[in-house]
């Protein structure tokens, strides 16, 4: 009987491993996937005191649970390189949030994530900008910027007024889009491009995880829903 139990455990672990490998290996150009089922946090991992699901949305809040450092809800399905990610989000409180992509889980115990971030910030020039969370690159491109990044101190071309920059009420639902294809990174807010960056830097990130952020500091609550991923081809778009 004991041997049977151990055998069953082994089969369950094998099944889980095969399922995970299937997720990783099954991604092809044109594949689409919902990352949030609207009911629970299946497929995600984060601090249960921070993250929950309410009324069909993922909720991250530090209102009743003060955090010492930024913390993240990590999508466990796979790592991604070239993709289009769309989602709706809104933010309450005097703070900021964002969505990580092509990122790394630096500390599983504290859910610390580093990598590219599509920012959510009340300052118009920071809304849907490109930020290097924990990478040492900080603000890589403010909203409105089209740029080719080459080194820490230089870029081959920068246009900081390429796109419109207007105030946004983040307490209302807005639709965000992240396109990562080759070295080209594009963010959109409500269908309008906010940044268009070609990252040729030696620290450019090629592949990684997706995660949602609750930022340390002032109490805040962020909401996410309708999170959808589309795999793009390996060939960068023009």
Of the chain, the end-to-end C-alpha distance in Å amounts to 61
Return the SS3 of 29: coil
* C-alpha dihedral sign at 207, 115, 89, 220: positive
Torsion angle (degrees, nearest 10) of CA 192, 195, 207, 121: -90
pLDDT surpasses 60 at 12: no
Q: Over the stretch 150-177, which tens digit does the pLDDT of each residue have?
A: 987 666 788 999 999 999 999 999 999 9
Phi/psi for 78 (5° steps) reads: -175, 180
Q: Over the stretch 68-85, which tens digit does the pLDDT of each residue have?
A: 999 999 999 899 999 999
pLDDT surpasses 70 at 38: yes
The residue ranges of every structural domain in the chain are 29-231
Cβ 183 vs Cβ 140: under 8 Å = no
Residue 10: predicted pLDDT: 43
Q: Over the stretch 202-222, which tens digit does the pLDDT of each residue have?
A: 999 999 999 999 999 999 999
Say how far apart CA 122 and CA 151 lie, in whole Å.
Answer: 28
Say how far apart CA 225 and CA 162 lie, in whole Å.
Answer: 29
**What is the CATH number that goes with domain 29-231?**
2.60.120.560
| Mean of pLDDT values over 169-195 | 98
DSSP states of 79-136 as a string?
-BSSEEEEEEEEEESSS-EEEEEEEEEEETTTTEEEEEEEEE-SSTTTTT-EEEETTS
Which of 147, 153, 205 has its CA nearest to residue 181? 205
Strand order across the 130-133 sheet: 44-45, 71-75, 209-214, 97-107, 112-120, 130-133, 138-141
User: Residue 192: how many CA atoms within 13 Å on its side-chain side?
Assistant: 13
């Amino acid at each position: 009987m004991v041997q049977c139990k151990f055998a069953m455990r082994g089969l369950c672990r094998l099944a889980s491993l095969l399922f995970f490998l299937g997720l990783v290996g099954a991604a092809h150009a044109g594949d689409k996937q919902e990352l949030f089922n609207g009911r629970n946090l299946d497929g995600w991992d984060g601090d249960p005191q921070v993250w929950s699901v309410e009324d069909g949305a993922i909720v991250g809040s530090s209102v009743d649970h003060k955090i010492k450092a930024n913390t993240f809800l990590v999508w466990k399905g796979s790592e991604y390189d070239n993709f289009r990610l769309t989602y709706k989000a809104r933010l309450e409180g005097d703070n900021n949030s964002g969505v990580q992509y092509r990122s790394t889980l630096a500390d599983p115990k504290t859910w610390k994530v580093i990598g590219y971030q599509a920012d959510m910030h009340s300052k118009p020039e920071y809304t849907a900008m490109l930020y290097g969370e924990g990478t040492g690159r900080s603000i890589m491109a403010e909203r409105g910027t089209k740029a080719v990044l080459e080194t820490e101190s230089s870029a081959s071309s920068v246009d900081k007024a390429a796109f419109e920059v207007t105030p946004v009420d983040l307490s209302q639902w807005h639709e965000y889009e992240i396109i990562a294809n080759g070295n080209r990174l594009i963010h959109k807010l409500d269908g309008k491009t906010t940044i268009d960056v070609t990252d040729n830097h030696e620290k450019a990130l090629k592949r990684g995880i997706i995660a949602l952020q609750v930022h340390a500091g002032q109490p805040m609550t962020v909401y996410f829903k309708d999170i959808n991923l589309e795999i793009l081809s390996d060939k960068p778009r023009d």
